[in-house]
Chains A and B, each alone.
Chain A
Amino acid sequence: MFLEIKNLKVTYKTVNGLSTVLNNFELPLNSGDIVSIVGESGSGKSTLGGAITRLLPPSGNESGEIIIDGKNILALNEMEMTGMRGTTIFMIFQNPLNSLNPVKTVGFQLSEAVKIRSERNNENLTEEQIKNEIISSLTSVRLPDPEQIMRRYPHELSGGQVQRVVISMALILKPKLLIADEPTTALDVTIQAQVINLLKELNKKIHMSIIFITHDLSLAYVISNKVMVMYAGRIMELNNTDDVVKKSMHPYTTALLKSVPVDYKGNSRLYYIPGAPPSFFNLPKGCKFNPRCDKVFEKCRVEEPTLLSLGSEGKVRCWLYE
């Protein structure tokens, strides 16, 4: 097992006291896997990204174990954690417009990445080699005229271009684990597809494991081999992508699948799940999804189900399968 998260608990300090967003969270990930974390906003899926990279906002606190390559990163000090970031774990953020430093050129920001990696691996690169590496990585993410791009400032690039620059940074750093937090949400549909393909290529070429955070189940289907569905900070369903999509078990997953637009059926009415995800301050009693569930029965309102193992890989948190 390459990444193992056990007993992870993430809390935020707020005016109303502690808010527990993730509790008893677990996630096993094999080397080379692409797992999608799917959920509505407010399900705690982005908190997970912050927890693994240890970049939670200052009000956040995490405990438990996150083991990468046999090392529990929650036990590392700040210096050691800095050493993990970049070359072991890397994260792509959602909003491409803000993800590069606005007052430095693209070339400068990529050269920093090259220097960090080469320092850690004692590579001793010349300026010429650094430049060539940047150009080749910009070329592999299919940015035309890389030398021109290097001289540009982030505000002179489009959102899709910035996102590809960030992916080229991943290419340079060659992390073992890449976390992509809704990397395509802010992009046009055509560019979305390109970014997804680039990520899949990275996964194949340098055997990079990817955690793909999204609210869009159809994207998850395209990119990943495993899907985890989250709701109110809880894992609702975890299984191979094909199983989740074709034989979904949890009513929430089924509802999410129904709300994916399918044009060719000619049915233009889009399904949506009634209600909104609960706030972490007044979570419903029993199963957290019960107020919005169409298969709810008495037990769901009283007691919260545990995560049940089904077969070899599948897990589901629902009383229907007890």
Chain B
Amino acid sequence: MIDKTMTETKTTFNKVGYFGTLIKDKSALIGIVIAGAFLIWSLIQGILENLASYTGYSRLGYLLLPSNPFATNFSQRLAPPSFSSLSMVFGTNDLGESIVSRMLYAMPRDALVSVIVVFSAIVIGALLGIISGYRGGWLENIIMRITDAFLSIPALILVIAISIPLKAGFDAVIIALSIVWWPTYARFFRAQTLRVKEMDYVQAARINGVNPFNIFFKYLFLNSVDPIIAYAALDFGNVILTYSTLAFLGIGLTIPIPELGAMASTGLSYLPADWWYSLFPSITILIIVVGFVLVGDRYQDVINNRIDY
């Protein structure tokens, strides 16, 4: 039985909805704004970059940027940040390219990686988790041992092991990350399945011969969608961190397209004198990830009825 004071406050949540509660929290709102701005920017800029490469009209790719991210200017090499023009706010790199323009140009790839990896992880995890929880027996045992096996290797290391023979390109990294990212979701869905399986209405649906996938989409997936959203929001941040770490190590890059982690990495050799080269890309990653973690963290608080006003 739930504590009565909890049920009292719970009723209000049901009325407003989790999301309605979430946006009333200041820090969650900050997170939503950061993550939303990042995703919307990435969508627009990503479309423009693709249009540019399809039409061959390269100006489209930096239509919205302060300057052409590939324009080198050797008289402006390693210029410190200044407010003389928008393209100079974060300074320039060793080739005299504008750091702010390159960072904005790089963002769609981080967004793409995180969206693809998190969604494929949810799909694979849901499939394996629900099957193993629903069927049980030897199938469950095998799937869960495989899940444990994947969880025993840090994602970063496993991605390195998979993507190196794939020649370590951008696609290889997306594939490798998708291969290693699902186990947490599989565990989550299995636990939910075991819980829901025993409920009366699911038992009844089973006896009446309702298709198991209908049962699980309706009763299980949609029922447990809130904790998944919370975890996935957090996980976007985790994927971006791992991806930028890989880029830092030189994996998953397509020369000459800029990447935040790779910029931070190249900038390392110019420390400490030309600090802006490495610092701004790093801080940008930090802020984006903070945005996602804030959303996920607060969402979990809302679900657990633990948000502090």
Indicate yes or no for A touching B, C-beta below 8 A. Answer: yes
CB atoms of B9 and A14 under 8 A apart: yes
Once bound together, how far apart are the Cα atoms of A189 and B21, in whole Å? 40
CB atoms of B24 and A95 under 8 A apart: no
**Given known A14-B12, A14-B309, A279-B11, contact A46–B3 (CB-CB < 8 A):** yes
List residues 1-34 of chain A with CB under 8 A from any CB of chain B. 12-16, 19, 21
**Given known A94-B1, A182-B1, A186-B1, contact A16–B16 (CB-CB < 8 A):** yes
User: Within 8 Å of chain B (Cβ to Cβ): is A185?
Assistant: yes
**Given known A16-B16, A279-B15, contact A42–B1 (CB-CB < 8 A):** no
Chain A residues contacting B15 (CB-CB under 8 Å) are: 279, 281
Q: Which of B5, B20, B25 contacts A47 (CB 8 A)?
A: B5
Once bound together, how far apart are the Cα atoms of A86 and B295, in whole Å? 42
CB atoms of A50 and B1 under 8 A apart: no
Chain A residues contacting B307 (CB-CB under 8 Å) are: 15
List residues 5-20 of chain B with CB under 8 A from any CB of chain A. 5, 7-9, 11-12, 15-16, 20
User: Within 8 Å of chain A (Cβ to Cβ): is B4?
Assistant: yes
User: Within 8 Å of chain B (Cβ to Cβ): is A221?
Assistant: no
Write the B285-309 contact mask toward A (1 if CB under 8 angstroms, else 0): 0000000000000000000000111
CB atoms of A15 and B5 under 8 A apart: no
CB atoms of A15 and B11 under 8 A apart: no
Once bound together, how far apart are the Cα atoms of A62 and B308, in whole Å? 18
User: Within 8 Å of chain B (Cβ to Cβ): is A280?
Assistant: yes
* Residue from the set B8, B11, B25 with the largest chain A CB neighbour count within 10 Å: B8
Once bound together, how far apart are the Cα atoms of A277 and B20, in whole Å? 23
Would you call the interface of chain B mostly helix, strand, loop, or mixed? Answer: helix
Chain A residues contacting B308 (CB-CB under 8 Å) are: 58-59
CB atoms of B12 and A19 under 8 A apart: yes
CB atoms of A95 and B1 under 8 A apart: yes
Q: Interface range on chain A: under 10, 10 to 19, 20 to 34, or 35 or more? A: 20 to 34
Write the A279-314 contact mask toward B (1 if CB under 8 angstroms, else 0): 111000000000000000000000000000000000
| B262 CB → nearest A CB, Å | 42
User: Within 8 Å of chain B (Cβ to Cβ): is A164?
Assistant: no
Q: Give the number of chain B interface residues (Cβ < 8 Å).
A: 18
Once bound together, how far apart are the Cα atoms of A185 and B3, in whole Å? 12
| B33 CB → nearest A CB, Å | 18
Once bound together, how far apart are the Cα atoms of A200 and B308, in whole Å? 41
User: Within 8 Å of chain B (Cβ to Cβ): is A45?
Assistant: yes
CB atoms of B5 and A280 under 8 A apart: no
CB atoms of A47 and B1 under 8 A apart: no
**Given known A19-B12, A279-B15, A281-B12, contact A13–B4 (CB-CB < 8 A):** no
Chain A residues contacting B25 (CB-CB under 8 Å) are: 15
CB atoms of A42 and B309 under 8 A apart: no
List residues 43-62 of chain A with CB under 8 A from any CB of chain B. 44-47, 50, 56-60
Write the A50-85 contact mask toward B (1 if CB under 8 angstroms, else 0): 100000111110000000000000000000000000
User: Within 8 Å of chain B (Cβ to Cβ): is A132?
Assistant: no
CB atoms of B5 and A41 under 8 A apart: no
Name the residue of chain B whose CB is nearest to the CB of A13: B309
Q: Which of B1, B4, B5, B12 contacts A16 (CB 8 A)?
A: B12
**Given known A15-B24, A15-B309, contact A45–B12 (CB-CB < 8 A):** no
Name the residue of chain B whose CB is nearest to the CB of A45: B4
Once bound together, how far apart are the Cα atoms of A281 and B11, in whole Å? 9
**Given known A42-B7, A42-B8, A279-B12, contact A15–B21 (CB-CB < 8 A):** yes
* Residue from the set A15, A19, A41 with the largest chain B CB neighbour count within 10 Å: A15
Once bound together, how far apart are the Cα atoms of A13 and B25, in whole Å? 13
Chain A residues contacting B16 (CB-CB under 8 Å) are: 15-16
List residues 216-241 of chain A with CB under 8 A from any CB of chain B. none
Chain B residues contacting A42 (CB-CB under 8 Å) are: 4, 7-8, 11
List residues 21-43 of chain B with CB under 8 A from any CB of chain A. 21, 24-25
Once bound together, how far apart are the Cα atoms of A13 and B305, in whole Å? 12
CB atoms of B1 and A280 under 8 A apart: no
A-B contact pairs, 15 of them (CB 8 A): A12-B9, A14-B12, A16-B12, A16-B16, A16-B24, A42-B11, A44-B8, A45-B4, A47-B4, A59-B308, A94-B1, A186-B1, A279-B11, A280-B8, A280-B12
Closest 6 CB pairs of A and B: A46-B4, A279-B11, A15-B24, A15-B21, A13-B309, A42-B8
- A sample of 10 more A-B contacts (CB under 8 A), given A16-B12, A42-B8, A94-B3, is A13-B309, A16-B16, A19-B9, A41-B7, A44-B8, A47-B4, A60-B5, A94-B1, A279-B8, A280-B8
